[in-house]
Amino acid sequence: MKKDDSGTDNGLGSSLPNFTLSQIIYYGVPGCGKSNKIREQLKDVPEKNKVRVVFHPEYTNAEFIGQILPKVNGHVTYEFTPGPFTQIIKRAYLNPNEQFYLVIEEINRGNAAAIFGDTFQLLDRLKAGEIDSLGNDPANAAVNTFTEGWSQYFVQNDDVNAYIRGTENSIQIGNIRFDSNTAIRLPPNLSILATMNTSDQNVFTLDNAFQRRFDMELVRNEFDLTKPAVNAQYNAEIDDTGIKWGQFWGWINAKITATLKGLSSTEDKRLGVWFVSNVGGIIDDKVFAEKVLKFLWDDVFKFKRPQVFAEGIDTLEKLINFFENPPEGKERFNVFKDKANLVAFVASPTL
């Protein structure tokens, strides 16, 4: 979202490293490499500096932020149990010279607005030159001046506040005096990285107000053959067919686009580069049948099956059985009505 390369005081301390603040959603088709992009980006970041969470339809605000739960230790007590959101904020507050990351996988598989709740407004960050001294104990207003990278707005949450302070009445966090009256904000050294599957199989959609608070970056569904792992994935043979995964991927995605032309979800139905992964340069026939063919049958060509699949294949069971154990005189890819077109495409991918 922005880069603080001044190395000067931003409210956390007077001698900070050059933090790169990111608040971004990586989006794309299933299997295009969204999660891998984040994994590569954070591969050298220590585990304590990142928290990863996966949104899903049953995930709640209480699980994300924290909740009061019973604990039994001779007798029953009720204590605040922090969620991943609160855990990473505390780490970022107490270690202002380090960069921290909250990673949210499948951000639109859950009801993001409900999961964030009132903390949604924390996603607005102060820009360069903006300051805010509001929302603090008046006695500390001069000290607690929030600058670039901090949340523009704040929320009051006694449980989160108490968790951050621990057993202390107040703590000093850089130039911020944090006590029971200090509101919660996202600090400049905390970034949020999320993934979003654009497929219409998602349960929820993100409204414009939510998306506006994030940068958006499309993870392109393409093979970068200069990367050894990607090159190996492209050249992986689909069992004993003699057809490479990259060749089939190109053909089927072109077919999806042509067959479903005019439908709003056409682009999202395409197979991602990593929709299935090779093992030792081979994609097993069972893996291909149960994942790729099932997806094509159940989802992509659900209303176009007679146009795509061979005569006599009228159930998913027949489709999988045919591919795994082709009838005498047939080859695996005879499951497709225009297998000849696939062969021609493999010979000349520009077709």
Residue 13: which residues within 8 A CB-CB, separation 6 or more? Answer: 96, 97, 174, 175
Tell me: pLDDT of 195 over 50: yes
The number of C-alpha atoms within 13 Å of 175 and in the hemisphere containing its C-beta is 18
pLDDT digits (tens, 9 = 90+) for 203-233: 567 778 888 899 999 999 999 899 899 999 9
327-331 average pLDDT score: 91
Q: Is domain 2-218 classified as CATH 3.40.50?
A: yes
pLDDT digits (tens, 9 = 90+) for 239-274: 999 999 999 999 999 999 999 887 666 777 899 999
Distance CA 227, CA 276 (A): 18
Q: What is the pTM of this model?
A: 0.85
CB 263 within 8 A of CB 200: no
Quote the pLDDT of residue 210: 85
Amino acid identity of 108?
N
62-91 average pLDDT score: 91
- Minimum mean pLDDT range among 133-147, 176-190, 237-251, 308-322: 133-147
82-108 average pLDDT score: 95
Instruction: Name the residue ranges covered by the structural domains of the chain.
Output: 2-218, 228-347
Backbone angles phi, psi at 336, to 5 degrees: -95, 140
CA 270 to chain centre: 18
User: What is the DSSP secondary-structure string of 298-322?
Assistant: IIITTTTHHHHBPTT--SHHHHHHH
Backbone angles phi, psi at 334, to 5 degrees: -70, -5
C-alpha closest to that of 195 among 29, 10, 1, 82: 29
Most confident by average pLDDT, 70-74, 190-194, 221-225: 190-194
Sign of dihedral through CA atoms 72, 74, 77, 79? Answer: negative
Longest dimension (CA), the chain: 86
> Which 3 state secondary structure label does DSSP give 79?
strand
